[in-house]
Amino acid sequence: MTDTHQSRVSSQAGLGRTLWNALWPVLVAVLCGLVMHLAIGPWAGGYASTVMVACAINVVLAVSLTVVNGFAGQFSLGHAGFMAIGGYTAAGIVYYGSLLMWGDASPSGSVLSASFDEVAGRPWLAAGDALFVVACLVGGLMAAIAGYVVGLPSLRLRGDYLAIVTLGFGEIVRVLLQGTKGQIQPWKMSELAETPGWRLPLHLGGPQGFNLLPVYTTLFWATAAMTLSAIVIYRLKYSALGREFLSVREDEIAAQAMGVNVTRAKVRAFVVAATFAGIAGGLYGHLTGTMNATELDFKRSIEIVIMVVLGGMGSISGAAMAAVLLTILPELLRDPPAIWPAGLLVLAIVTFTQWRRRRFSWPVLTGIIVATIVFEVGRRVAIAHAVDLADYRLVIYALLLILMMLLRPDGLFGVHEFWDVLGLRRVPRPGIDGRSEVEA
Amino acid sequence: MTAVAPESQSRPLLDVRGLRKSFGGLSAVQGFSLPLPERGLYGLIGPNGAGKTTVFNLLTGVYTPDEGAIRLGDRPLAGLNPHQIALAGMSRTFQNIRLFGELSVLQNVQLACALRTKRHLFWTLLRTAGSLHREAEVRARSLELLELFHLQHRAHEPARSLPYGHQRKLEIVRALATQPKVLLLDEPAAGMNPQEKRQLGETIRHIRDTFDVAILLIEHDMGLVMDICERITVLDHGETIAVGSPREIQADAHVIKAYLGAADQL
Amino acid sequence: MDKFLQTLMDGFTVGSLYALIALGYTMVYGILQFINFAHGDVFALGVHLTIVFAAMLGIEGLATGGPASLPVVVGVLLLTMLACGCVGFLIERLAYRPLRSSPRLNVLITAIGVSLLLQNVGQLPFVFGPYRKATPNLLPDVTLATIGGEQQTQDDGTLEIVGGVKVTLVNVTVVLVALAMMLALQYVIHSTRFGLAMRAVSHDPRTAGLMGINVDLVISLTFMIGSMLAAGAGFLYTLKYTGNVAHPGEATWVLLGLKAFVAAVVGGIGNIRGAVLGGLLIGLTEFFGVGYLSSEYRDAYVFAILIVVLLVRPQGILGRPKIEKV
Q: What are the tens digits of pLDDT across the range C8-39?
A: 888 999 999 999 999 999 998 888 888 888 99
Query: Is the model's pLDDT at B230 over the cut of 90?
Result: yes
Q: How confident is the model at residue C323 (pLDDT cuts 50, 70, 90)?
A: low
Query: Is the model's pLDDT at C194 over the cut of 50?
Result: yes
Could you give the percent of chain C with pLDDT greater than 70? Answer: 92
State the pLDDT at residue C325: 54
State the pLDDT at residue A383: 83
Separation between Cα atoms, residue C117 and residue C41, nearest integer Å: 9
State the pLDDT at residue C67: 66
State the pLDDT at residue B79: 86
- Interval C33-49 mean pLDDT: 91
Q: Is the peptide bond before B76 cis (omega within 30 degrees of 0)?
A: no
Query: Is the model's pLDDT at C321 over the cut of 80?
Result: no
Query: Is the model's pLDDT at A239 over the cut of 60?
Result: yes
Angle CA C129–C131–C134, to nearest 5? 105
**C 212-271 residues with CB < 8 A to B:** none
Strand ranges, E, within C191-285 = 244-245
Could you give the percent of chain B with pLDDT greater than 90? Answer: 55
State the pLDDT at residue A301: 93
**A 3-62 residues with CB < 8 A to B:** 4-9, 13-15, 17-18, 21-22
Query: Is the model's pLDDT at C49 over the cut of 90?
Result: yes
B25 phi-psi bin (left φ>0, alpha ψ -120 to 50, beta other) = left
Q: Which is higher by pLDDT, B155 or B264?
A: B155
State the pLDDT at residue A278: 97
Taking CA–CA distances from A16, the nearest residue in chain B reads B129
Separation between Cα atoms, residue C44 and residue C182, nearest integer Å: 20
CB atoms closer than 10 angstroms to residue C212: 7
Across the interface, whether the CB atoms of B23 and C326 are under 8 A apart is answered no
Please indicate if any CB of chain B lies within 8 Å of the CB of C105. Answer: no
Q: E strand or H helix at A388, and its extent?
A: none
State the pLDDT at residue C66: 56
Query: Is the model's pLDDT at A105 over the cut of 90?
Result: no
- Interval A296-324 mean pLDDT: 91
Bridge-partner residues for C145, per DSSP?
A: C167
Q: E strand or H helix at C211, and its extent?
A: none
The letter for the amino acid at A90 is: A
State the pLDDT at residue C293: 85
State the pLDDT at residue A322: 93
Lowest mean pLDDT of A339-348, B143-152, C232-241, name the range. A339-348
Contacts of B138 in chain A (CB under 8 A): 240
Separation between Cα atoms, residue C213 and residue C196, nearest integer Å: 10
Across the interface, whether the CB atoms of A161 and C106 are under 8 A apart is answered no
Contacts of B82 in chain C (CB under 8 A): none
Query: Is the model's pLDDT at A342 over the cut of 50?
Result: yes
Please indicate if any CB of chain B lies within 8 Å of the CB of A415. Answer: yes
State the pLDDT at residue A388: 78
Lowest mean pLDDT of A225-239, A425-439, B74-88, name the range. A425-439
State the pLDDT at residue C64: 56
Query: Is the model's pLDDT at C169 over the cut of 80?
Result: yes
Query: Is the model's pLDDT at A434 over the cut of 50?
Result: no
- Interval C198-217 mean pLDDT: 89
Lowest mean pLDDT of B157-161, C198-202, C305-309, name the range. C305-309
Could you give the percent of chain C with pLDDT greater than 90? Answer: 36
Query: Is the model's pLDDT at B234 over the cut of 60?
Result: yes
State the pLDDT at residue A423: 61
Query: Is the model's pLDDT at C176 over the cut of 50?
Result: yes
Angle CA A56–A62–A68, to nearest 5? 150
Query: Is the model's pLDDT at A430 over the cut of 60?
Result: no
Lowest mean pLDDT of A427-436, B31-40, B81-90, C157-166, name the range. A427-436
Contact B138, A430 (CB under 8 A): no
Across the interface, whether the CB atoms of B57 and C323 are under 8 A apart is answered no
Angle CA A266–A270–A271, to nearest 5? 115
The secondary structure of residue A54, as a DSSP letter, is H
**C 123-162 residues with CB < 8 A to A:** 124
DSSP A190-213: HHHHHS-GGGGGG-S-GGG-B---
Query: Is the model's pLDDT at B6 over the cut of 60?
Result: no
State the pLDDT at residue A347: 87
CA distances from A155 to A262, C151, C306 (A): 8, 59, 16
- Interval B85-93 mean pLDDT: 94
State the pLDDT at residue A330: 81
Contacts of A157 in chain C (CB under 8 A): 310, 314
What stretches of chain B show up as alpha helix (H) in DSSP?
52-59, 82-88, 105-113, 121-126, 129-148, 164-177, 194-211, 222-228, 246-251, 253-265
Burial C273-293 (b: 16+ CB within 10 A, else e): ebbbbbbbbbbbbbbbbbbee
State the smallest CA–CA distance between residue A324 and chain C in angstroms.
20
Could you tell me the sign of the dihedral formed by the alpha carbons of C250, C254, C257, C262, in that order? negative
Nearest partner of C119 among C51, C22, C42, C52, judged by Cα? C42
Query: Is the model's pLDDT at B36 over the cut of 90?
Result: yes
Q: Which is higher by pLDDT, A155 or A240?
A: A240
Strand order in the sheet with B182-186: B90-92, B182-186, B214-218, B41-45, B231-236, B239-244
Average pLDDT, rounded, for chain B: 87
**C 248-307 residues with CB < 8 A to A:** 249, 251, 254-255, 258, 261-262, 265, 294, 296-300, 302-304, 306-307
Query: Is the model's pLDDT at A135 over the cut of 80?
Result: yes
Q: How confident is the model at residue C50 (pLDDT cuts 50, 70, 90)?
A: very high
Lowest mean pLDDT of C24-33, C144-153, C237-246, C273-282, name the range. C144-153
Q: Which chains touch C (3 or more CB pairs under 8 A)?
A: A, B
State the pLDDT at residue B205: 92
